[in-house]
Structures are given as C-alpha cells and as structure tokens.
Chains A and B, each alone.
Chain A
Amino acid sequence: MEVRREKLRALSPLEEPRSPAELRVRQLRARDLLRGDLEGADLERHVSESVLTTTLDRATRWGRANSIFPATFGLACCAIEMMSMVSPRYDIARFGAENLRATPRQADMLILSGRVAIKMAPVIRRLYDQMLEPKWVVSMGACSSSGGMFANYAVVQGADKFMPVDIHIPGCPPRPEALLYGFNKLQRMIVGNPDAGWRRRYNAIGTEEWARPVTGTASREEAEAYAAAREQSVARHAELAGESG
C-alpha cells in the first residue's frame, strides 16, 4: 500500500489546521507530550505552535476590550438605535459587550445616546463619576457631540463640555452598524493600537489640531510645544505602522 506523505507546515498558535492530516499530527504530538515521549526538535516545534507569548499589560488590555459592560442608559431617540444594537440582528455580543448593566457601579462604558439637556448634565456627570475605573464614554450622534439641531437654551452644546468623551459617532441618529463601528474603534483604542484612519489614507499624520503649525502671536514656548507634539505624533504613527505591518 502506498503511503501518502504530506509536507506539513509549521502552524502558529492561533492558526486553525487546514486539513484533517494536520489536525491528526497535532493531536498525536499532544499525546506524545502528555506521555513524556516528545523530545528534541519535535518538542521545540510543539511549544512554538501552542504557546503565545505576550506582556501581561497587553493581555489585560485585550481582555478589557473584549468584555466591556455598557450601562443601560438612554437619553433620547438615539437610544432606540442603541437598543437594536443588542438585538440578534446586530448583536454586540459578537464583541463581548452584550451585558448591559443597570447600575453605573458595574458598568465600563457609558453611551450618551441623545441630546443632553442642561438639567440632565449634572445627572450624567454624577453617573460618570460613579463608574469604576477604567471607564469609557461614547458620544452617540450629533446632539451629544455638538448639540446638533438643538442650538437653543435647553441643550448642552456637546457633552464633552462637562465630561471626557473617548469616541464621537456622527449621525442623526447613527445606524446600529455605525455604533458598532465606533465601538470597534473604542476597542482598538483600549488595546492600544488606534488606527489613524483617514489620516493614514490621506497622508495627513502630524496635522492634528494639537500638533498644528503655529500661526499668529504664539509665544516661543507654545511654538516649541507644538513642534514637539507634531514630532511625537509622527513618531508614534511610524512605530504603530511598523508594529502592525
């Protein structure tokens, strides 16, 4: 009987075996390891295929990003879209954030879903202060980001006037897909690998507002600070590009 021999590739730990033969080889190697029979090059190969090395910091951030507990908190019409984000059709459970908590003490993320009335602002600030660290805030829609169409006496012109906001999602209201996309951006931010997005595509790294070239009557210290910030931004993005590519 002819024995077919396939050349087997070395698998990385996160890679799925592509053929039954590859799976079988892995299984046999694992059995030998448990028996204590695996030695030498085979042992080396088994270890390199099954052990992932990382830093504790990075593993913690990975875990945090993939098990966010949002607060059950709706402000206005955007909340309808936020509710459908939890539904099976959009299903934020795919990203590990399906567990909406009814108290800020147990929540990691606050979604500002709607316009913020000036009477509501102190309430939201208190909710935010009650959340435990680490905590993140997503401003959903035009109203909570900038006041939107409500340019009047009753609505705060942008929720970041009274609390820190990590992600602004445009739209009126944003579709649940947009909210999920914003949520994915937040996850990347937590993991520590933020994509420069359009700045990379348009070759615009280093033109951030806080890193802009100085105009007008800036003092020498300000000019130096801006130049340093710009250099830092360019270096940081170069480093990130090297890491991911």
Chain B
Amino acid sequence: MPDAPGLELIAQDLNDAAAGSVLGTYHEHGQGCLIVDPERILAVLGWLRDTPGQEYRFLASLHGVDYLPAQPRFGVVYELLNMPRVERLRVRAALADSGPDELPEIDSCVPLFPAAEFQEREVYDFFGIVFSGHPDLRRILMPEDYVGWPQRRDFPVGGEPVIFTRDERDVPRWFE
C-alpha cells in the first residue's frame, strides 16, 4: 500500500500530469484513497495504469455509493491493485446529483479495463449513474422493464401494510 506520504506524492504527480484532477486524499484503515474530478477519471486511471513506477494494472472492483444528504451525492469507487507489489489504491470519483430528471454521468473505463463492463452495468442498474462510452449499458440484475434506481437512499424501502380482518371490520379502510 502507498503510505500517507506516498499517497501525497501520487497526488502531486497526478496533478502535474492532469491539472486539477485530484480533489483530495485520505488514508484510513491502512489504505489510501484519491478523491478525483469525475471529468478527468479516464486520465487518472490511465496514468495510474501505465506510468512506470505506478502500474496499477488490475481493477479489483468498481462500485457506486450514495452519500445522501452529503454533497456531492454520488461516488463511483475504483479499487486498483498492483499485482507484483500487492499494493492497493482506491480512487473515488465524486459525482454531483443532477436533479430528479437527469442522471449523473461519468466516462466509462471499459476501454482501459474491459472487466469493468458488468460492474458498470450493475452501478447503472442500482444507482442510475450513466457511463458514457459503455458498449452495452442496460440493466443487469433487475428486470429490463424495472422503473427506478433501487439502491439510492431516497428509494422507498418497500413492503406493504398487513391488513387484518379485525382492523378492516372495526375501522373500514384503516390503512388509507
């Protein structure tokens, strides 16, 4: 793992390579995380993958987070791994909520990491985050005709009231 000073060095080098790409860093539970500008996510991931001395060539996981009510609301988290050194680095793109009618959008990293295809579909399925440039962006786990983004924090939990005969008899239409 890059330690805290090593993380700052990576952040500086990244800011030199792509200006303004790193918005912040934090280091906890022994793992460093770069918070990056979603506009430059491809530049950041490409730099981390290809620069000699970094070479995080393996995308171990890609997932979405909803931080409601915090702003920016969404996060897309990339867990990178350097196999020979067994070093992990977390990259988080902070995505702002674009209102009820529009979906937040970020560049797809499938050109860099082909394994991200299904995971980006999953993030799209559950959080409604659009990955532009994805070769086949459809729902992957929910039915195709499903409406809504079920893992968002403002999505209703679900279930329905249990209607007992007794309640219905004593107080008609009690559940309304």
Interface residue from B143, B148, B150, B169 paired with A215 (Cβ < 8 Å): B169
Bin the interface of chain A by size.
Answer: 10 to 19
**Is A63 at the interface (CB under 8 A from chain B)?**
no
B162 touches A146 (CB 8 A): yes
Taking a contact as CB atoms under 8 Å apart, the answer to whether A153 and B148 are in contact is yes
- On whether the beta carbons of B150 and A154 are closer than 8 Å, the reply is yes
* Residues 126 to 174 of chain B near chain A (Cβ within 8 Å): 142-143, 146, 148, 150, 155, 157-160, 162, 165, 168-170, 172-173
Report A57 CB to chain B, min CB distance, Å: 33
Instruction: Decide yes or no: A209 and B165 within 8 Å by CB, A119-B142, A216-B173 being known contacts.
Output: yes
CB of B173 within 8 A of CB of A153, answer no
Identify the closest chain A residue to B148 (Cβ): A153
Chain A hits for B157, CB < 8 A? 151-152
User: CB within 8 Å of B: which residues of A?
Assistant: 118-119, 146-147, 151-154, 157, 209, 212-213, 215-217
Q: Are B173 and A212 in contact (CB under 8 A)?
A: no
Residues of A within 8 A of B143 (CB): 118-119
Contact yes or no, B169 A213, CB < 8 A = yes
- The reply to whether A157 and B150 contact each other, CB–CB distance below 8 Å, is no
**Contact partners of A118 in chain B: CB under 8 A:** 142-143, 146
Main secondary structure of the interface of B (DSSP, over half): loop
> What are the residues of chain A within 8 A of B159 when measuring CB–CB?
147, 151-152, 157
Instruction: Give the distance in Å from the alpha carbon of A80 to the alpha carbon of B160 in the complex.
Output: 28
CB pair A153–B150 under 8 Å, yes or no, is: yes
Interface pair A153/B162, CB less than 8 Å apart? no
Q: How far is the CA of A212 from the CA of B172 in the complex (A)?
A: 12
14 A-B pairs, CB-CB below 8 angstroms?
Answer: A118-B142, A119-B142, A119-B143, A146-B162, A147-B159, A151-B157, A151-B158, A151-B159, A151-B160, A152-B158, A153-B150, A157-B158, A215-B168, A215-B170
Q: Are A216 and B158 in contact (CB under 8 A)?
A: no
Shortest Cβ distance from residue A144 to the other chain B in the assembled complex, whole angstroms: 15
A212 & B150 in contact (Cβ 8 Å cutoff): no
Q: Which residues of B contact A147 (CB under 8 A)?
A: 159-160
> CB-CB < 8 A to B148: which residues of A?
153
Residues of B within 8 A of A151 (CB): 157-160
Residues of B74-114 contacting chain A, CB below 8 A = none
How far, in whole Å, are A119 and B142 apart by their CA atoms in the complex? 7
Q: How far is the CB of B163 from chain A (nearest CB, A)?
A: 10
Q: How far is the CB of A166 from chain B (nearest CB, A)?
A: 20
Q: Which residues of A contact B170 (CB under 8 A)?
A: 215
- With the chains together, A212 CA to B163 CA distance in Å? 15
- A237 nearest CB across to chain B (Å): 18
Contact A153 B169 (CB under 8 A): no
Measured in the bound complex, the distance between the Cα atoms of B71 and A73 in whole Å is 47
In angstroms, Cα B158 to Cα A119, docked, is: 16
Q: How far is the CA of A213 from the CA of B155 in the complex (A)?
A: 39
A212 touches B165 (CB 8 A): yes
